[in-house]
């Protein structure tokens, strides 16, 4: 049997934080080393344009995300690592898919519906301020996935609907034209923690409660010290299960260390002491990678060359595939 193809994209808006690391980056790095499947990881910079109109931010974020993944040891000999915008076949496929994707399907996309609802509640025109980019977002994402005939798409819950739409779009195309596309499936890993941020809500850029992955050691210590706790004094037993600090601890510690800390909570360990140990643990896991990250950020030419090599390899798949798609829809040379 052919190897399973696993593909996922990272939208290049923002700086990677601990939540991204635990939820997506760390498992992906592990997968990149697994020779029993073919992994595809890419910087979704065309997706970034939907949310972000600041060129400097898009550029900076692409660089930070690429450097982060490489610094953490992404195996780019085994896995493919590329930038969406280096694969022109993806945008070409997006248009072709636009012409067979149902508009009614796009009307049901959560992101679009949520934006419409905000407008309606504000008494505005339903489409006020909305772009075609936002509306067509699921088609671009379908092109990302279908271009490489990926089977498994590891995503967060919020993206499952988009993968299902990609599947729908593929089915419709296969039925109308030719059997070109593999039907993809979302893979949501419930064992991966969704980290809380410093204020106890889900760690997210939009809540401004993130702990950046590669801030300096000093800043990391500061961020950890800022995590919200309760007012229980040293010596008073604390509930580990409601605690953001304990949750973070659990995302980095071994099973034995998690149990030990649970005991410490029951014995009334001081918050200052837990945070000190948490800093040591997180910093221990990240320190070497942070150094490599800083080196890579100072050597963008190297990062660029890795991405270009990834694009070259990716185009070995995308060029023949777009040929099949063009043929199927009747866009081809005469004679
Ligand atoms: N839209 C995804 C997100 O915001 C990123 C993404 C773009 C993606 N293209 C993809 C994920 C293809 C999986 C497959 O998280």
Residue-wise pLDDT for 40-81, tens only, equals: 999 999 999 999 999 999 999 999 999 999 999 999 999 999
Atom of ligand 1 nearest to the CA of 84: 9
> Which pLDDT score is estimated for 189?
84
Q: Tell me, in angstroms, the distance from the centre of ligand 1 to residue 307's CA.
A: 18
Q: Is the pLDDT of residue 264 over 70?
A: yes
192 vs 129 pLDDT, higher one: 129
Distance CA 325, CA 189 (A): 32
Please name the residues in contact with 35: beta carbons below 8 A apart, sequence gap of 6 or more: 78
Using alpha carbons, list the distances in angstroms from residue 43 to 20, 88, 144, 332: 14, 14, 11, 30
Judge if the beta carbon of residue 153 lies within 6 A of ligand 1. yes
Q: Tell me, in angstroms, the distance from the centre of ligand 1 to residue 44's CA.
A: 7
pLDDT band at 2 (very low <50, low <70, confident <90, very high): confident
End-to-end CA distance of the chain: 37
Judge if the beta carbon of residue 8 lies within 6 A of ligand 1. yes
- Tell me which residue of 2, 6, 18, 15 sits closest to 226, measured CA to CA: 18
Q: Tell me, in angstroms, the distance from the centre of ligand 1 to residue 26's CA.
A: 17
> Which pLDDT score is estimated for 136?
96
Q: Is the pLDDT of residue 149 over 90?
A: yes
> Which pLDDT score is estimated for 193?
76
Q: Which of the listed residues 141, 166, 206, 318 should we mutate to test ligand 1's pocket, taking the one with most ligand atoms within 8 A of CB?
A: 141
What is the mean pLDDT of the segment spanning 187-199? 87
Tens digit of pLDDT for each residue in 200-243? 999 998 899 999 999 999 999 999 999 999 999 999 999 999 89
Q: Tell me, in angstroms, the distance from the centre of ligand 1 to residue 139's CA.
A: 11
Q: Which runs of consecutive H residues, i.e. helices, occur in 33-81?
A: 45-51, 55-71
- Tell me which residue of 10, 15, 18 sits closest to 203, measured CA to CA: 18
pLDDT band at 323 (very low <50, low <70, confident <90, very high): very high
Atom of ligand 1 nearest to the CA of 10: 5
Q: Which of the listed residues 6, 9, 184 should we mutate to test ligand 1's pocket, taking the one with most ligand atoms within 8 A of CB?
A: 9
Judge if the beta carbon of residue 9 lies within 6 A of ligand 1. yes
**Contact criterion met (CB below 8 Å) for 166 and 184:** yes
Q: Tell me, in angstroms, the distance from the centre of ligand 1 to residue 255's CA.
A: 31
Judge if the beta carbon of residue 144 lies within 6 A of ligand 1. yes
Q: Which residues pair with 82 in a beta bridge?
A: 42
Using alpha carbons, list the distances in angstroms from residue 157 to 23, 122, 154, 167, 298: 11, 28, 10, 16, 35
Judge if the beta carbon of residue 186 lies within 6 A of ligand 1. no
Tokens of 294: 């800083």
Distance CA 152, CA 150 (A): 6
Residue nearest to ligand 1 atom 11, measured at CA:
9
> Which pLDDT score is estimated for 1?
67
In this structure, how many other beta carbons lie within 10 angstroms of the beta carbon of residue 328? 18
What is the mean pLDDT of the segment spanning 85-96? 98
What average pLDDT does the structure give for the chain? 96
- Tell me which residue of 318, 335, 330, 326 sits closest to 40, measured CA to CA: 318
Judge if the beta carbon of residue 11 lies within 6 A of ligand 1. yes
Tokens of 52: 């972000």
Judge if the beta carbon of residue 145 lies within 6 A of ligand 1. yes
> Which pLDDT score is estimated for 335?
76
pLDDT band at 260 (very low <50, low <70, confident <90, very high): very high
> Which pLDDT score is estimated for 33?
97
Residue nearest to ligand 1 atom 10, measured at CA:
9
> Which pLDDT score is estimated for 205?
87
Residue nearest to ligand 1 atom 7, measured at CA:
9
Q: Which residues pair with 37 in a beta bridge?
A: 4
């Amino acid at each position: 049997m052919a190897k399973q193809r696993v593909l996922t994209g990272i939208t290049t808006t923002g700086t990677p934080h601990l939540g991204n690391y635990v939820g997506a980056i760390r498992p992906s790095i592990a997968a990149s080393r697994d020779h029993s499947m073919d992994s595809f990881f890419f910087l979704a910079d065309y997706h970034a344009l939907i949310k972000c109109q600041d060129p400097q931010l898009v550029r900076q974020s692409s660089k930070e995300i690429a450097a982060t993944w490489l610094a953490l040891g992404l195996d780019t000999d085994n896995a493919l690592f590329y930038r969406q915008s280096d694969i022109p076949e993806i945008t070409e496929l997006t248009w072709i898919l636009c012409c067979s994707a149902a508009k009614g399907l796009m009307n049901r996309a959560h992101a679009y519906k949520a934006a419409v609802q905000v407008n309606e509640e504000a008494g505005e025109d339903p489409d006020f301020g909305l772009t075609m980019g936002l509306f067509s977002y699921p088609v671009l994402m379908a092109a990302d996935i279908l271009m490489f005939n990926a089977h498994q798409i590891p995503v967060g819950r919020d993206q499952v609907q988009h993968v299902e739409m990609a599947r729908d779009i593929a089915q419709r195309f296969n039925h109308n034209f030719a059997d070109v596309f593999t039907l993809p499936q979302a893979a949501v890993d419930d064992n991966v923690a969704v980290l809380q941020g410093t204020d106890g809500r889900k760690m997210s850029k939009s809540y401004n409660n993130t702990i950046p992955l590669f801030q300096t050691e000093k800043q990391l210590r500061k961020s950890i010290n800022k995590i919200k706790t309760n007012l229980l004094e040293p010596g008073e037993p604390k509930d580990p299960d409601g605690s953001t600090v304990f949750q973070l601890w659990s995302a980095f510690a071994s099973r034995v260390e998690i149990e030990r800390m649970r005991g410490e909570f029951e014995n009334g360990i001081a918050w200052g002491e837990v945070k000190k140990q948490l800093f040591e643990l997180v910093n221990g896991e990240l320190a070497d990678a942070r150094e490599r990250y800083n080196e890579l950020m100072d050597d963008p030419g190297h990062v660029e060359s890795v991405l270009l090599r990834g694009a070259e390899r990716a185009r070995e798949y995308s060029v023949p595939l777009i040929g099949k798609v063009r043929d199927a829809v009747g866009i081809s040379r005469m004679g």
